[in-house]
Copies of this chain bind each other. A is one copy, B any other.
């Protein structure tokens, strides 16, 4: 059977060969995860995806979430998926054994969710957010909060959300006004509204546990006055029962895509609504960032997954659809011959290769990021821990943004391959095209991520994160340079690192002079620059792994597989890397055109 939404062979190549998953099992935390255990786990997740997720993706779009009589009615399969995800251990997968988790490496966790997202991006968020919310309680909550909420969440019985956005405060968390009023009982009374809450309600789950940002009455203005609360839809009564907790669902947003995934408007405190403080007061945003950082990488991984599912849908069509003829030498078409399959036309091939380059390159990027996360956890020295932490930090906005943005381009190319058929509601491509569009908005828009990258991550700790990233890239360049077949690509990448320095040298004086608005005015273009360079690094690494395997006699895959990886790397270097020169030229252009100036009336 042709691959329908992802390739296990490619995933395993990325995990085991490019990113050396099994080396993690040398560390005590991951000692149970040898090849055999990880393969079994991956296969069981794939079976779950094939049976419970992929068959429902189109139906969930066609029969979207409905808001009826105050209830959010979701597709019945969501319940099954949550339950099975709980049974498979996917919701508490990264938790310690003693917390009821699988102590799964982050790389494996990303691999598992990559499969689920690719099979059905409408269901995976329910489980993913529940996992993130439980993780937040586990990290910062009191023993009582942990005992009360986490077991049911990781079993897939209760849902979880993150409640940040308010109607008057979208990207600007400084301005949230939801308030927590202290009571003498230790808990707080919550009053306020939250919008765009993913998985915020559904008709079947017994309980949903909201991790909510609010200000304790009288707290300082801005982000330093924000605290984190557990606010359940129904609060446990202590005798095993539940009672409504004043969380009212005011509506469900109908959306362009991800129509099977509820996006709710919640009103807290019209009747008594108790909130339970997590950790210390006024430190909520710091705590929430743990979940947000995870969620940002998850959004990037969603981009990888949807782009991958779209790639396999287009590939299948291109392999089956006859249309037109190849141009013979001399330019004549031979009409006595039957039509050729469209995969043989250069422009179709170019679009498929773009899809492949984006899909597989971004998968590698997500696993790279996860690897730093794992290494941070198992690091044996403080320095090693810090280095891996900083690498995770600087890659997070890129891992969120590049797959979200270029994933759209990739899926759009997928639609184009099908021509009119791609635009028809009959085919899945148009759905992926709609589904993927939200990712550049979720969890901090591309603009916000770009500010995070250039304002915070590039400069943090005297640019240490950036220097470490450059060191990592240079290591790959150096090894690749030892192979005649890869040398020229390694040189291109090396030149891009030098150009990165030029760009930052151009920008730095603005920051030094305190003109941060100008320093950051083209942050999004810088994100495009560095994102493409980082992808160039990943492709060189993928090709290097393939090149080394080709020289072995006992390689796991056949030569075609490895050559295909090298071919796709060359494609990325021919069609994508040259864009970086344009981005650099734009950033280094001193015309200031997008900063408000008093004398200009542009619009």
**Does A329 belong to the interface (CB within 8 Å)?**
yes
Residues 323-357 of chain A, each 1 if its beta carbon lies under 8 Å from chain B, else 0: 11111011101011001000111111110110010
Contact call A419/B349, Cβ cutoff below 8 A: no
CB distance from A506 to the nearest CB of B (A): 14
Contact call A255/B353, Cβ cutoff below 8 A: no
Interchain CB contact (< 8 A) of A347 among B195, B450, B573, B575? B450
**Does A268 belong to the interface (CB within 8 Å)?**
no
**Does A221 belong to the interface (CB within 8 Å)?**
yes
Contact call B315/A603, Cβ cutoff below 8 A: yes
CB distance from A569 to the nearest CB of B (A): 10
Q: Which residue of B lies closest to A311 (CB)?
A: B603
Within 8 A of B (CB), among A399-449: 408, 412, 415-416, 419-420, 422-426, 430, 433-434, 437-438, 440-441, 445-447
**Does A37 belong to the interface (CB within 8 Å)?**
no
Residues 32-63 of chain A, each 1 if its beta carbon lies under 8 Å from chain B, else 0: 00000000000000000000000000000000
Contact call B256/A425, Cβ cutoff below 8 A: yes
Contact call A575/B586, Cβ cutoff below 8 A: yes
Interchain CB contact (< 8 A) of A419 among B170, B315, B594? B170
CB distance from A536 to the nearest CB of B (A): 13
CB distance from A144 to the nearest CB of B (A): 34
Total copies of the chain: 2
Q: Which residue of B lies closest to A329 (CB)?
A: B514
**Does A494 belong to the interface (CB within 8 Å)?**
no
**Does A487 belong to the interface (CB within 8 Å)?**
no
A523 to B433, CA, bound (A): 25
**Does A524 belong to the interface (CB within 8 Å)?**
yes
**Does A589 belong to the interface (CB within 8 Å)?**
yes
CB distance from A284 to the nearest CB of B (A): 17
Contact call A601/B560, Cβ cutoff below 8 A: yes
Residues 491-524 of chain A, each 1 if its beta carbon lies under 8 Å from chain B, else 0: 0000000000000000000000011110011111
User: Which residues of B are found within 8 Å of A415, using beta-carbon distances?
Assistant: 437
Interchain residue pairs A-B with the least CB separation, the first 8: A578-B582, A578-B585, A254-B425, A346-B521, A347-B447, A172-B324, A256-B430, A331-B516
Q: Please name 6 pairs of A and B residues whose Cβ atoms are closer than 8 Å in the assembled complex, sorted by A.
A: A327-B516, A350-B524, A350-B593, A416-B447, A578-B583, A581-B581
